[in-house]
Amino acid sequence: MHLEMLSTERPNPLTRDLDVMSVSDLLTVMNQQDAIVADAVAAVLPAIEAAVDLIVAARARGGRLIYLGAGTSGRLGVLDAVECPPTFGTDPGEVIGIIAGGPGAFLNAVEGAEDDPRAAGVDLDAISLNATDVVVGLAASGRTPYVIGGLDHARELGAATVAVSCNRNAAMSSHAGVAIEVETGPEILTGSTRLKAGTAQKMVCNMLSTASMVRSGKAFHNLMVDLRPTNAKLVDRANRIVAAATGVDTEIAAETIENADGHVKAAVVMLLAECDFAEAAELLDRASGSVREAIVGADKSSEEV
């Protein structure tokens, strides 16, 4: 499909006179157009759910979530990946963002990098991609050669694949096991897919990582019990999370986190199951990291005694 045929590349009739609009009118129409994105994402929730299922299954077998993209799309994948360790306590290697042109392309555009379909295979081989992993290809146009090449390479290796685009009948959709096509339509600034299309891709990435991590035991109720308290703000948040999860005050929460060697999830189990750190760690290990299941396991153990 030629670029001019893609909805993301067409001129938006509502902003034909964008260059002479008042700032108020420009911002109003921009806000109205942005409001379209949530509904566009809602229309493809079943496909997003299917992708989450692939990611959860991959994580259960020790696989990784790997985002792959170029330009804005690549940066959004990297952004989601780097937020997972502090939010969910994952190792940096569990969720990886790869951008065409290498890490330097995050800050400075590397012209032509997205046009090489073979380069993605090289980049994926560099992280030892294998059949346990899942690769999520991101491209607003849905036709970026780098991403298509990466999805094909991943499929050849037996990895699960997901394509995220912002056009219907996107070229790369047929190159993935699950296709997520968020139809966001023409941008207010023609072809500037960092706008609505970028917002849509960010929303989808938020859903993929958050839902899959929650399903992997990274939350208790709606609390981030696996966050890493690596700065003052996160230390305070960790104390409040433990307090909210267990009903103790923040002083006791802080003391328990310290006794748990900084592990928030273990601190929650220690308080709710009334056990020490070693026992909490064992309960969590048996429950595959789920706080709820760990507490159930503690109750069963006490009943057996």
Annotated catalytic sites, by residue?
83, 114
Cα 119 to Cα 114: distance, rounded to the nearest angstrom: 9
Cα–Cα nearest to 36, from 188, 224, 241: 188
Cα 247 to Cα 197: distance, rounded to the nearest angstrom: 42
DSSP state of 217: T
How far is CA 111 from each of CA 71, 99, 232, rounded to the nearest angstrom? Answer: 9, 12, 40
The amino acid sitting at 70 is A
Cα 54 to Cα 137: distance, rounded to the nearest angstrom: 14
Supply 188's token pair. 């207010």
DSSP state of 220: B
Give the list of residues 6+ apart from residue 259 with CB closer than 8 angstroms, or none: 267, 270, 276, 277
Q: 28-35: which pairs have CB atoms within 8 A and are 24 or more residues apart?
A: 29/188, 30/188, 30/195, 33/185, 33/187, 33/188, 33/195, 33/196, 34/195, 34/196, 34/199
Cα 81 to Cα 97: distance, rounded to the nearest angstrom: 6
Which helix or strand (DSSP H or E) is residue 41 part of? helix 23-42
**Beta partners for 65?**
95, 134
Supply 250's token pair. 């923040």
Supply 106's token pair. 């995050």
